[in-house]
Structure 1
Amino acid sequence: MSESDRIFSQPLDHVADFTFNEDVARVFPDMIKRSVPGYPTIVENIGVLGARFAQPGSRLYDLGCSLGAVTQALRRHVKTDGCRVIGVDNSAAMLARCREYLSAQDAMYQELLPAELVEADILQMDFQPCALVALNFTLQFIEPERRLELLQRIRQALLPGGALILSEKLRFADAAEHELLNELHLDFKRANGYSELEIAQKRTAIENVMRPDTLEEHRERLAQAGFSKVVLWFQCLNFASLIALP
């Protein structure tokens, strides 16, 4: 169902800002696997974490679900009675393909959690009480001045004993550390077959739409939003995932 990512393989006269359109949806599994170190481990273990925090009859949100990798992991791992996964994305192209992936999963497995897909802007959503929220490489695409507001609304919707799983690309306040980890990330991309042209054009496309924070900024904002505990459970190069507890 997925094609190889060749979107930036030819010189472009103008590199437009990155969007999650049909071209990206078609190659997204290949793109993210070759671009985000540790991505399969993060996704699979969000399913494992979901099994710990799920509560009977509760909702599990996958916000910015794209093609539904986290939704699929939650459906596989969570066995708690009455739970359902709600995947939300503002890209119709991504959701159309997500439905195909979920249908294929339904054909392969039995006794999966029910999943509902919603096309919406998560900044405008009215979140219902929930046991788990996954923001998997989504917050970094939200305008920085809107991030706290979103996290506050998620915190208000979380049930006692629930959790937010937040995965993000990081930047680093220490210039030498930032440079080293950035260069190692570029090495990761080169090792996965991306050319210098592809790397450069992708960087141009994404630099205005994805604005990473430092780990310290994430911790401070989550505390401001009302979370009592933040645990770094995974980091690979400049990509990390946090558990935030109410």
Structure 2
Amino acid sequence: MSIEDFSFREHALTFDRHIGDSIPGYASLVKRVLRDSRRFIQPRTNVYDIGCSSGRTLAKISRLNRSSRERVTYIGIDCEPSFEMLWRRHRAPNLKCGVGDVRTCKLENASLVISQFTVQFIPPADKRALLRRIHDSLIEGGALMIAEKTLAGTARLQDVVTFSYYDHKLERGFTAEQIIEKERQLRGQMTCMSEAELREALKEAGFNEIERIWGEAPFAAFLALK
């Protein structure tokens, strides 16, 4: 029996509900991103959301900072065309979303880059180059806010974290069959790093100040400053 690769295409119309059910504490992560955005967004710069999905988080950031940060352009990039219909809901003069590959899209003059559960879907050979491109696109004092699904430090801890996460998904209405099928579909597509490996990759990219700002195992978010 063949197994199709996982795609967000089937979840596009209900993506925000899907990610809220899938990731414990996701709402608190978005609140943290919104709150900290005001500290880093500078006038006459770009703000990027790579892997922007529905565009909802980027639109919220735009509305929050519009009156106090002049001439900022908010740019969302995602590889899934099915999200285009959702981007129309967030139309604004200073906000634009487009279909593209974050590994090759232009990134420049950025004061803030947001990456929520995106690098985990980038092939291992390309992850560090992408993080370097993000670092180099930032102005001095700019920030990357990155959230990823992470691996535990030991096999025994990984077992605990994995089954705790499965319990969470069962509580949120996913069936055992849906959980297993998604795991099968994600094989080879999602390649996660441990928190230590992610920190190391960020340092190699040029980020010297890195702080964990959110976490609900097996997920964690970091603030990395240029």
**TM-score after normalising by structure 1:** 0.86
Q: Given the alignment of the two structures, is residue 42 of structure 1 paired with residue 22 of structure 2, yes or no? A: no
Aligned to 1:96: 85
In structure 1, distance between residues paired with 2:63 and 2:171: 31
Does 2:146 match 1:166?
yes
How far apart, CA to CA, are the structure 2 residues paired with 1:118 and 1:26? 17
Deviation at 1:66, TM superposition (A): 0.6
* Secondary structure, aligned partner of 2:212: strand
What is the distance in 2 between the residues matched to 1:210 and 1:76? 32
Question: 3-state DSSP class of the match of 1:127?
Answer: coil
- Shift, 1:70, TM fit: 2.0
Q: Distance in 1 between matches of 2:191 and 2:107?
A: 24
AA paired with 1:225? A
Match of 1:191 among 171, 175, 179: 171
**Residue 230 of structure 1 contacts residue 244 of structure 1 at CA under 8 Å; is this kept in 2?**
yes
Structure 2 unmatched ranges of 5 or more: none
Deviations 1:162-218 (A, max 9, x none): 100000001113112111111111111011011111111111112221111100000
Q: Distance in 2 between matches of 1:51 and 1:44?
A: 12
The answer on 1:18 being equivalent to 2:12 is: no
Give yes or no for contact 2:54–2:86 (8 Å, CA) kept in 1: yes
Letter in 2 for 1:32: I
Matched with 1:5 is none
The Cα shift of 1:235 comes to 0.5
Aligned to 1:182: 162
Deviations 1:115-139 (A, max 9, x none): 1112211111121111000011100
2:94 is the counterpart of 1:114? yes
Alignment match, 2:193: 213
CA offsets 1:215-245 (integer angstroms, 9 cap, x no match) = 0000000100011111000001211110011
Contact 2:212/2:221 (CA < 8 Å) preserved in 1?
yes
Q: Distance in 2 between matches of 1:198 and 1:27?
A: 16
Query: Out of 65, 68, 72, which is 2:55 matched to?
Result: 68
Q: Measure the CA separation in 1 of the matches of 2:77 and 2:84.
A: 8
How far does residue 69 in structure 1 lie from its aligned partner after superposition? 2.6
| 1:233 equivalent in alignment to 2:209 | no
Identity of aligned residues (%): 29
**CA separation of 1:65/1:71 partners in 2, compared to 1, >3 Å: closer, same or farther?**
same
List gaps (5 residues or longer) in structure 1: 1-12, 107-112
CA offset digits 1:68-89 (Å, max 9, x no partner)? 1320231232232222210111
Q: Provide TM-score, normalisation by structure 2.
A: 0.94
Verify the 8 A CA contact 2:50 2:102 in the aligned structure 1. Answer: yes
In structure 2, C-alpha distance between the alignment counterparts of 1:14 and 1:39, rounded to whole Å = 32
Q: Does 2:17 align with 1:30?
A: yes
Note the C-alpha offset of 1:14.
4.3
SS at match of 2:8: coil
Q: How many residues align?
A: 224
Task: Judge which range, 219-228 or 203-212, deviates more.
Answer: 203-212
